[in-house]
């Protein structure tokens, strides 16, 4: 067992790193296009309900398991119930982290390229939506560019993770998160004062429940878990580096609050801009890339805003890819006793291999683009790992804490250094509400065949 696993330097350091994990492309890329696809306000309400009733309880469950064991995803279960199949739940999480990181780094790679184009002043001139689509298509369909950009992003991630917990991950978060916040607020200020912004608000706050399909509800659940980095052991792993006297409930609520708040703020940044540009909100994964690129030239200092926006995306993505990589690296460090350096580079290389088909699924290869009925390799990885694995992982973690390890143990852990208010409510949510609600959503989706 490795003796020196590393620790956060304080609970504030943890909050920054965990918020960095939670706040990412999930908030700025996935949330807006999913809201767009499922029709706006009603989806958001369901999403918020899932954050409160499932997200926060699961976050507390993961953190309690992590801190009490001081082990990463697999080792934590091993330590609490040796010789059982429970560690497989952690194994599923490690696998899921691997799956998410592989496609996430492809999108993150695009942000690097857009950032570079913004630096060159590319978005300062008028750009029609056809031109913008063409830029996006040329970039994403270019196999070499897409693959190299994903590789570059993975290497950036690895350079931070190899530095360890307080010296690598926390240090990066301390610099990146404040920069992120300042840029985002600047951009929102710009977006909400554009002509046409009110249509964007109307879309976000119109509660048309007729648009809520089973697929929308599954996606809202998947999105809540994805956005809070739950269901795959990231928060078990990050929780394992907490100090004994850190206030976990308070840290958890702070992270949840920031993550959800920033998804809403990202909505307020994207939708007014979208309606201002007269674009349709249903554009899917390419939404923010294609639409945002056309509006910078309509703003004073547009080139600067473009640099800020793509820089923001890259930063948000980086603090999240760091946590994804850390889940896998921590497994090899804790369970296989690899050095952090070796684990980092081996995992990064393996992840790169799985990133290749995702990088080729936007036209780079017809095979990977058209597979799964046109969903493509990346689209499928996003759904399978980003919705289903996380949902199943969340149920299993709740069942574990609620029925196997025990609410009493978890509450005692959460009260060490903190004070879990409404512990009975939390217990009931973890034991009954979360597993049942998630199971219903999954079964319903499977039966209606409405799961994509």
Residues at the contact surface with ligand PHE, assessed by CB under 6 A: 21-22, 24-27, 100, 226-227, 229, 232, 234, 320, 323-324
- How is residue 278 annotated by DSSP? T
- Joined together, the tokens standing for residue 52 give 């409160």
User: Whose Cβ is closer to ligand PHE: residue 127's or residue 183's?
Assistant: 183
User: Whose Cβ is closer to ligand PHE: residue 226's or residue 352's?
Assistant: 226
Query: Helices in 193-247 by DSSP H: which ranges?
Result: 197-205, 214-227, 234-239
Q: Least Å distance between CB 234 and ligand PHE?
A: 4
- Joined together, the tokens standing for residue 333 give 């460090």
Q: Least Å distance between CB 24 and ligand PHE?
A: 2
Q: Least Å distance between CB 25 and ligand PHE?
A: 4
Distance CA 262, CA 258 (A): 6
Closest CA to 233 of 100, 347, 383, 74: 74
User: Whose Cβ is closer to ligand PHE: residue 102's or residue 229's?
Assistant: 229
Pair 23, 180: CB distance under 8 Å: yes
* Residue nearest ligand PHE, Cβ-based: 26
- How is residue 5 annotated by DSSP? -
The total of other beta-carbon atoms located within 10 Å of residue 398's CB is 26
Q: Least Å distance between CB 71 and ligand PHE?
A: 18
User: Whose Cβ is closer to ligand PHE: residue 222's or residue 435's?
Assistant: 222
Q: Least Å distance between CB 325 and ligand PHE?
A: 9
User: Whose Cβ is closer to ligand PHE: residue 22's or residue 151's?
Assistant: 22
User: Whose Cβ is closer to ligand PHE: residue 304's or residue 354's?
Assistant: 354
In sequence order, what are the residues at sequence separation of 6 or more whose Cβ sits closer than 8 angstroms to the Cβ of residue 39?
208, 211, 212, 216
Three-state SS string over 145-208 comes to HHHHHHHHHHHHHHHHHCCCHHHHHHHHHHHHHHHHHHHHHHHHHHHHCCCCHHHHHHHHHCCC
User: Whose Cβ is closer to ligand PHE: residue 263's or residue 411's?
Assistant: 263
Q: Least Å distance between CB 217 and ligand PHE?
A: 19
Pair 291, 55: CB distance under 8 Å: no
Q: Least Å distance between CB 129 and ligand PHE?
A: 26
């Amino acid at each position: 067992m490795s003796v020196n696993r590393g620790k956060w330097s304080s609970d504030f350091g943890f909050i920054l790193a965990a918020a960095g994990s939670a706040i990412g492309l999930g908030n700025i890329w996935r949330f807006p296009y999913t809201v767009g696809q499922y029709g706006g306000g009603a989806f958001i309400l369901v999403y918020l309900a899932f954050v409160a009733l499932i997200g926060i309880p699961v976050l507390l469950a993961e953190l309690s398991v992590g801190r009490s064991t001081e082990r990463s995803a697999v080792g934590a279960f091993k330590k609490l119930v040796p010789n059982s199949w429970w560690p497989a739940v952690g194994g599923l999480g490690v696998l899921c982290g691997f799956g998410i990181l592989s496609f996430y780094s492809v999108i993150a790679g695009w942000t690097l390229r857009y950032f570079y184009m913004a630096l060159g002043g590319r978005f300062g001139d008028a750009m029609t939506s056809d031109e913008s689509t063409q830029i996006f298509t040329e970039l994403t369909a270019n196999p070499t560019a897409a693959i190299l950009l994903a590789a570059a992003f993975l290497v950036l991630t690895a350079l931070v993770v190899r530095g360890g917990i307080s010296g690598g991950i926390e240090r990066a978060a301390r610099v990146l998160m404040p920069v992120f916040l300042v840029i985002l607020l600047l951009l929102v200020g710009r977006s909400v004062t554009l002509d046409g912004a009110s249509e964007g608000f109307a879309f976000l706050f119109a509660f048309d429940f007729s648009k809520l399909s089973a697929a929308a509800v599954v996606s809202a659940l998947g999105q809540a878990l994805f956005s809070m980095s739950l269901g795959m052991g990231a928060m078990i792993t990050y929780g394992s580096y907490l100090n004994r006297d850190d206030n976990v409930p308070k840290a958890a609520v702070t992270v949840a609050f920031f993550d959800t708040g920033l998804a809403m703020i990202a909505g307020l940044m994207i939708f007014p801009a979208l309606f201002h540009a007269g674009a349709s909100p249903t554009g899917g994964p390419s939404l923010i890339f294609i639409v945002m690129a056309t509006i910078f030239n309509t703003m004073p200092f547009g080139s600067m805003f473009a640099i800020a926006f793509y820089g923001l995306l890259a930063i948000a993505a980086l603090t999240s890819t760091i946590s994804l990589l850390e889940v896998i690296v921590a497994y090899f460090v804790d369970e296989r006793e690899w050095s952090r350096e070796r684990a980092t580079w081996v995992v990064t290389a393996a992840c790169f291999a799985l990133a290749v088909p995702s990088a080729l699924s936007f036209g780079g290869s017809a095979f990977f683009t058209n597979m799964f009925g046109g969903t493509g390799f990346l689209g499928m990885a996003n759904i399978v790992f980003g919705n289903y694995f996380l949902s199943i992982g969340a149920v299993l973690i709740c069942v574990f804490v609620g029925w196997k390890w025990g609410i009493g143990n978890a509450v005692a852990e959460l009260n060490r250094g903190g004070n879990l208010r409404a512990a009975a409510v939390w217990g009931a949510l973890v034991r009954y509400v979360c597993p049942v609600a998630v199971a219903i959503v999954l079964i319903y989706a499977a039966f209606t065949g409405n799961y994509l």
